[in-house]
Amino acid sequence: MIWASVIIQGVLLGAVYALFACGLSLMFGVMRIINLAHGDIAVVGAYLVWIVATRAHVSPFLALVAVLPVMLIAGYVLHVALIGKSLRGGQLVPLLTTFGLAIVIQNSLQQIFSPDVRSLGAAAGWITTSSWRLSEALAISWFGVLVLVVAVVVLGGLDLFLRKTGLGREMRATAQDPDAAELVGVDARAVYARATAIAVATAALAGAFLAMRSTFEPASGPTQLIFAFEAVVIGGFGSLWGTLLGGIVLGVAQTIGGHIDPQYSILAGHLVFLVVLASPRGRTLAARSARR
Amino acid sequence: MTGGERGPAAVPPIRRAALLSVECLEAHHGLLHAVRGVSLRLAEGEKLALVGANGAGKTTLLRALAGAHPVTAGTVRFDGADVTRLPAHRRVGLGIALVPEGRRLFPDMTVVENLLVAGRHRRPGPWTVDAVLDAFPLLRPLRDRRAAALSGGEQQATAIGRALMTNPRLLLLDEVSLGLAPLAVDAVYDSLTRLIATGTTVILVEQDLGRGMRIADRVACLLEGRIVLEGAAADLTRDEVTEAYFGLGGAGGAKARSTAP
């Protein structure tokens, strides 16, 4: 029974990672770039939710509803102003640009909010502390289930968007051949900006959930980036359902490792990541084309 | 002059308003000066075959007309408007569509999805998914197959259909027979001949001289980025074109001056 509990906790933890990873996966799938500022953008989202929630005295969930459209627009602007321009410089330039952006964000947050550790857990209320107690050793937190449901809805919705809608088809076409997409009337730059906007909004969503689930500070971003990156690699680059699976595998590995000995928690996740990377599938990752 | 049975084509091209007029177009491909001072006028409904050896600049010229290749100098006017600086996706909206060399389908999307992507920014017009599937009946049973899993001929039919989905007024076809089995080439050309008989303006790049000259009203021969011979398809002999194609003799240049509009 204790192992069932460990695995369930791992799945719930994995949902958070999957939510972090989905924007990273989308940007890589569409533009072939890895956004090194992804984790820090998520932390910006968490701070925005914190500001709205404390200033307006509303629930963080309500604040999140207000913050998401703002982050969508911010993502579009970020692409037009910065990432889109860096894309013209080849593969290395976007990597360096987002690395620089990550440093700028971390230091700005430090300057504005001080390095204090904060949490939205208390503000989110009863949902973060309640759980179903199924037996002595097995309790399922409501908030964990909520995050899992949101992760499935976001990743599934995104997958449906890419497969079934005109905008989504344009995004897939641009991912597969931007030059040919232009020749059938698709504005590739606008498509890229839309992908960045969606990625930034999902990052903010993940950041807010992280803040409600545990704590955050200006330097929280890079750790989340590493977990998100590992989830994407484990699940296979560019595949959204794979990303959900990758997040869950990473989460389960971490809770199993943590159950054996708390100091093995993070290490177990890294080990699974390395095993996948060293496997034949991992070696072909670089050459693989993203399907959607 | 073209033959009398062609109806509207019997009017000298220069008298009709040009749908496409290109003046002194220059384009570079890396360090290569690929297109050098090309001027062209094309009336609505005209079919021009662009011939020339490998590396003569045909593909670069076509891509420059479609907006997919940067122009270093010169102007491209389409239906009276200067489109020289317009990006490719905006030119599609005006009615210029290119079937690129190598087909360039979206490999992981189905035939229908390939068509639908192109249909999103279409001009109003007769072409729909159903119309394309009617024009290329071989695609109907394959509509939900991934483009990467199609044969070369099926891919080419999809690529032409994808361009038609935008309802083009000017269709640019780059080497549609390249890499196809002879039977597939015949099938593609059968459909194509019927399609362009409906009055679409066409520029066709073709290695097969005979095919190009049969379909086109006019032939232009490129050599090292310049048009060295241009004239009505009916007036030119195969030998004249072949000479210009390989850059043999000076007769080609004189001919170009006498018949160019």
Sheet bearing B170-174, strands edge to edge? B96-99, B170-174, B201-205, B47-52, B218-223, B226-232
Q: What value does the mean pLDDT take over residues A65-89?
A: 96
Residue B231, C-beta contacts closer than 8 angstroms, at least 6 positions apart: B218, B219, B255, B256, B259, B260
Residues of B in contact with A289 (CB under 8 A): 107-108
DSSP H or E segment with residue A291: none
Residues of B in contact with A181 (CB under 8 A): 106, 117
Question: Which domains are assigned to chain A?
Answer: 2-290 (1.10.3470)
Residue A240, C-beta contacts closer than 8 angstroms, at least 6 positions apart: A22, A25, A26, A155, A158, A159, A162, A292
Rg, chain B, Cα only:
18
Per-residue pLDDT at A284: 64
CA separation for the pair A24, A19 (Å, rounded)? 10
> pLDDT digits over B244-259, tens only?
888 876 544 444 444 4
> pLDDT digits over A114-166, tens only?
999 999 988 888 888 888 888 887 888 999 999 999 999 999 999 999 999 99
Average per-residue pLDDT for chain B: 86
Determine how many CB atoms are found less than 10 A away from the CB of residue B251: 12
The rounded percent of chain B whose pLDDT value lies above 70 is 89
Interface contact B165, partner A, CB < 8 A: yes
Which residue in the block uniquely carries the two structure tokens 């204090």? A116
Q: How does DSSP classify residue A59?
A: -
Interface contact B144, partner A, CB < 8 A: no
Which residue in the block uniquely carries the two structure tokens 């200067």? B82
Residues of B in contact with A240 (CB under 8 A): none
CB B20, CB B76: distance < 8 Å: yes
CA separation for the pair A96, B69 (Å, rounded)? 28
Nearest Cα of chain B lies from the Cα of A83 at a distance, in angstroms, of 20
Average per-residue pLDDT for chain A: 92
ipTM rounded to 2 decimals: 0.86
